[in-house]
Structure 1
Amino acid sequence: MTPIPIIYQHPLFSPDTLRKISDAHQLIHIPKGTYLLKEGQLSMGYHCVESGLIRTYALDPNGNDITVDFIGQNEIAIEVVSLFQGVAAKENIQALTECTCWYIGYEDFQKLFHTIEGFTEWGRNWMTQQLFKVKQRSISMITESASDRYITLQKEHPEIIQQAPLKYIASFLGITDTSLSRIRAEISKTGT
């Protein structure tokens, strides 16, 4: 089922409005391992995920890739700064599994933004939710143990645990693969 009505939920959006929004998107199938955006490229649009799992990552000064986020069903894969500021991307966006997405280019997004009542408010609400998510993650990296962060991820996003390689989960949690293996073994023993 298309993620459009879920992603673009807003009280001002009628079924007809959602059809117009949906019509501005193009259904695409993305093979596992495909890059939707690479560091240094200019983002030209974004992807609404119907199925599959996508990872965003950046390279540290030593060339190690560090997972920034995972994007799954009914979420948006976007590099906001590149798309809206027109600058080269600082991160990579890659499909971890085969994905089905609905793509919208920047120009079509702008048309919706300027012609659909409530679209600006929807965008502001979406951006606020993303800021809240980033803030929560930043605080949890300081105030929670790695074990607690893993347990939270396991409870809130089991699809990440099931579909993402452990090295990507470890970097997302800010720990080494070895530490993650130890945490998983402890959880397995205690049944947490």
Structure 2
Amino acid sequence: MTLNMENDFFKTIYNCSYIKSNDYEEIANAHSKIDVQQGTILLREGKVATEYYIIEKGLFRSFVYDYNGKEVTTEFFCQEELLIESFSLFQRNPSMENFQALSNGTIWKIDYENFQQLLDKIEGFREWGRNWATNHLFTMKKRSINMLTMNATDRYLTLLKERPQILQQAPLKQVASYLGITDTSLSRIRKEIVTV
């Protein structure tokens, strides 16, 4: 990626009218590029997050182990999304989740100290941060309500409409756990939708 392409990428991610055009080079320089292999664990449960990532390409997930020791996927992260364990990063608490690459991919890492420096130096970056946090809370709230108020088929259709790349790339078992259903139920829903 050339410098201009990098700046365009970071303008897309940190899209905020308050950030000046010449600030994006400094923002880009605060990140470092990493190529990751499928299966790589970026954060383990019990460790304190010291950085977050922006996904240039690839599919990632967060997951926990339930009371029976089974993996439950809590979120998927796609291209041009932030891969972040905000509670651990900002509260400096051990993570309750694991982060894993589901495909080979490219990510941009920024550590906590560099992030704080950008917040201190660039006023528009603080505004972006407030907007991101608000949207993130809204998304989490919406997902928790949907899990309680929508049936499994509607949850699947919503995922299909809003984030089809997850259904194209993620293993069936992980999609099922993310939707809060069994593999068998997910297979049945997919067959019913195809035959309609």
CA contact (8 A) 2:57 2:78 kept: yes
1:161 aligned to which of 157, 164, 167: 167
Distance 1:30 1:177 in 2: 28
Runs (4 or more) in structure 1 with deviation over 6 Å come to: none
The residue number in structure 1 matching 2:157 is 151
Structure 2 alignment gaps of length 5 or more: none
Structure 1 unaligned residues grouped into runs of 5+: none
Contact 1:30-1:98 within 8 A present in 2 as well: yes
User: What amino acid is aligned across from residue 117 of structure 2 in structure 1?
Assistant: K
Q: What TM-score do the two structures reach when normalised by structure 2?
A: 0.94
Tell me the CA shift for residue 4 of structure 1.
1.5
**Number of aligned pairs?**
190
Aligned to 1:177: 183
Residue 86 of structure 1 deviates from its aligned partner by 1.0
Instruction: Give the counterpart of 2:18 among 12, 29, 43.
Output: 12
**Is the Cα contact below 8 Å between 2:18 and 2:127 reproduced in 1?**
no
For residue 188 of structure 1, what is the aligned residue in structure 2?
194
Q: Could you tell me how far apart the structure 2 residues matched to 1:182 and 1:151 are?
A: 13
Kept after mapping to 1: 8 A contact 2:57/2:105: yes
User: TM-score when scaled to structure 1?
Assistant: 0.96
Distance in 2, matches of 1:7 and 1:69, equals 19
Aligned equivalent of 2:131, options 125, 130, 134: 125
Please tell me the residue identity of whatever aligns with 1:57: F
Whether 1:24 aligns to 2:44 is: no
Q: Deviations over 1:137-183 (max 9, x none)?
A: 11111111100110110111110001100001000000000000000
Identity of aligned residues (%): 50
**SS of structure 2 residue aligned to 1:47:** strand
Structure 1 residue 112 corresponds to structure 2 residue 118: yes
Match of 1:102 in 2: 108
User: Quick check: 2:20–2:124 contact (8 Å CA) kept in 1?
Assistant: no
Q: Secondary structure of the equivalent of 2:79?
A: coil
Partner of 1:137: 143
CA distance in 2 between counterparts of 1:7 and 1:128 reads 16
SS in structure 1 of the partner of residue 15 of structure 2 = coil
Root-mean-square deviation (CA, aligned residues, Å) is: 1.0
Contact 1:4 1:48 in 2 (8 A): no
